[in-house]
């Protein structure tokens, strides 16, 4: 709209919102990225644009912000987005891109991949940034299944968040040295030009396994089957059945034996908070809704790249984070649900260390 009038966004806002009570515009698009408006300012902007439904069409415009005071003054403020964002796929939105000014979008549950142009979209404010997926076909296939899960399951985000916690529990036990992920990390380093240490904490590396597990746990037929197995043969047998099925689907036939060994040598607390074990017990008890899909705070996958890097790299994590930041690998989409589903999403690193000690790869062997 500002470009159409040949004005800066700030001048346009001041012109539109000007009132006898004054107008206050805080920050700039360069410092805040996202525009938030007070209720009175929303009404004026919607009227000016000729789109009474503007707050519906652009819901974030009408999102309340705790720092925006609601009084008679029409207020606009540029603050950081409240959710994950990525740069739009350039071939899909070519006309909207301008030099030094990107087109930023909220990926939501699964909008972080353009399958048509085979790109994993990254977060960069000024230029298109993405990971080409031509050499990572399993990621494209996983995204197709992920999108289907989002369409079919009302709690898909929570299911994926739980599945991510399951995979994370394996990563902190040393799975980053495992054959399938090593191979994928090699292709990812070639696609990004980054070192292996910088790509391993990124969500893409474990995305296919995360979606496989999410589909399995979110399948009502498998939930029914596990409940029946728990009743007839006991929880341990049901857990083994589930792990064997996961191992088959993620191409790690050793999974059930390996995790059983981990459980034997791990702490009781680690076993108590293990996301898969907890889900199995809750499912057997007939839990549903938030109760079924919540993750214990000490087992949740860290949402921050730097927190993950601290666990997964032997190099000084500060250098790893700097490298990843330069390649736009530290932001963007993450497999986590809204705070409602995961109330304890902010996980202190010191808590994670307990999970990491559950067992190490070398303790049990058998991983290829």
Q: For residues 144 and 272, which CB has a smaller minimum distance to Zn ion in the complex? A: 144
Q: Which is nearer to Zn ion, 67 or 116 (CB)?
A: 116
Residue 352 engages Zn ion in binding (rule: CB under 5 A): no
Q: DSSP state, 70?
A: -
Q: Which of residues 158 and 328 has its CB atom nearest to Zn ion in the complex?
A: 328
Partners of 168 in beta bridges: none
Give residue 108's region: left, alpha or beta (phi > 0; psi -120 to 50): left
| # of chain residues touching Zn ion (CB under 5 A) | 6
Q: Which residue's structure tokens are 């197995």?
A: 229
Binder to Zn ion among 13, 25, 37, 89 (CB under 5 A)? Answer: 89
Can residue 14 be called a binding residue for Zn ion (CB under 5 A)? no
Please identify, using beta-carbon distances, which residue of 53 and 116 lies nearer to Zn ion. 116
Residue 104: Cβ within 10 Å count: 15
Least distance between Zn ion and beta carbon 111 (Å): 11
Query: What are the E-state strand segments in the chain?
Result: 23-26, 34-37, 74-79, 86-87, 104-105, 113-114, 119-121, 130-132
Least CB distance from residue 161 to Zn ion, whole Å? 26
How far, in Å, CA of 13 to CA of 2, rounded?
A: 9
Q: How far is the CB of 202 from Zn ion (least distance, A)?
A: 20
Among 12, 41, 113, 114, indicate the residue that binds Zn ion (CB under 5 A): 114
Q: Cβ(293)–Cβ(159) under 8 Å?
A: yes
Stretch that binds Zn ion, among 94-102, 108-116, 312-320, 338-346 (CB under 5 A): 108-116
Q: Residue 49 or residue 93: which is nearer to Zn ion going by CB?
A: 93
CB closer to Zn ion out of 91 and 339:
91
Within residues 295-314, the interface with Zn ion by CB under 5 A covers none
Among 14, 24, 65, 117, binds Zn ion (CB under 5 A): 117
Torsion angle of the four alpha carbons 62, 33, 124, 212, in this order, in degrees rounded to the nearest 10:
-30
Strands 104-105 and 86-87: antiparallel
Which H/E stretch holds residue 222?
A: helix 220-233
Query: Rounded to the nearest whole angstrom, what is the least distance from the CB of residue 89 to Zn ion in the complex?
Result: 3
Where do contacts with Zn ion occur on this chain (CB under 5 A)? 89, 91-92, 114, 116-117
């Amino acid at each position: 709209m500002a470009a159409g009038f040949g004005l800066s966004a700030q001048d346009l806002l001041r012109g539109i919102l000007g009132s006898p009570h004054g107008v206050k515009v805080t920050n700039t698009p360069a410092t805040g990225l996202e525009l938030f408006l007070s209720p009175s300012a929303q009404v004026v902007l919607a009227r000016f644009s000729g789109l009474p439904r503007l707050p519906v069409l652009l819901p974030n415009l009408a999102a309340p912000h705790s720092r925006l005071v609601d009084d008679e003054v029409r207020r606009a403020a540029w603050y950081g987005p409240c959710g994950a964002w990525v740069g739009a796929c350039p071939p899909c939105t070519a006309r909207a891109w301008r030099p030094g000014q990107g087109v930023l979008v909220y990926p939501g549950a699964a909008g972080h991949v353009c399958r048509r142009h085979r790109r994993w979209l990254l977060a960069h404010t000024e230029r298109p940034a993405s990971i080409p997926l031509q050499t990572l076909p399993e990621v494209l296939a996983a995204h197709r299944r992920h999108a289907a899960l989002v369409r079919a399951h009302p709690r898909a985000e929570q299911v994926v968040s739980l599945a991510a916690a399951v995979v994370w529990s394996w990563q902190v036990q040393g799975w980053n040295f495992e054959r399938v992920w090593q191979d994928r990390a090699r292709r990812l380093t070639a696609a990004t030009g980054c070192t292996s240490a910088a790509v391993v904490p990124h969500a893409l590396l474990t995305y296919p396994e995360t979606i496989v597990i999410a589909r399995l746990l979110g399948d009502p037929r498998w939930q029914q089957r596990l409940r029946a197995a728990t009743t007839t043969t006991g929880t341990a047998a049901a857990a083994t059945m589930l792990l064997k099925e996961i191992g088959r689907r993620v191409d790690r036939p050793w999974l059930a034996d390996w995790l059983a060994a981990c459980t034997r040598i791990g702490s009781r607390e680690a076993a108590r908070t293990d996301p898969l074990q907890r889900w199995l017990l809750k499912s057997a008890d007939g839990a549903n809704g938030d109760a079924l899909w919540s993750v214990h705070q000490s087992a949740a996958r860290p949402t921050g790249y730097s927190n993950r890097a601290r666990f997964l790299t032997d190099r000084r994590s500060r250098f790893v984070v700097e490298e990843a930041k330069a390649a736009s690998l530290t932001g963007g989409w993450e497999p986590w649900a809204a705070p409602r589903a995961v109330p304890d999403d902010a996980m202190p690193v010191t808590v994670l260390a307990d999970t990491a000690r559950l067992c190490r790869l070398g303790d049990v062997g058998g991983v290829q």
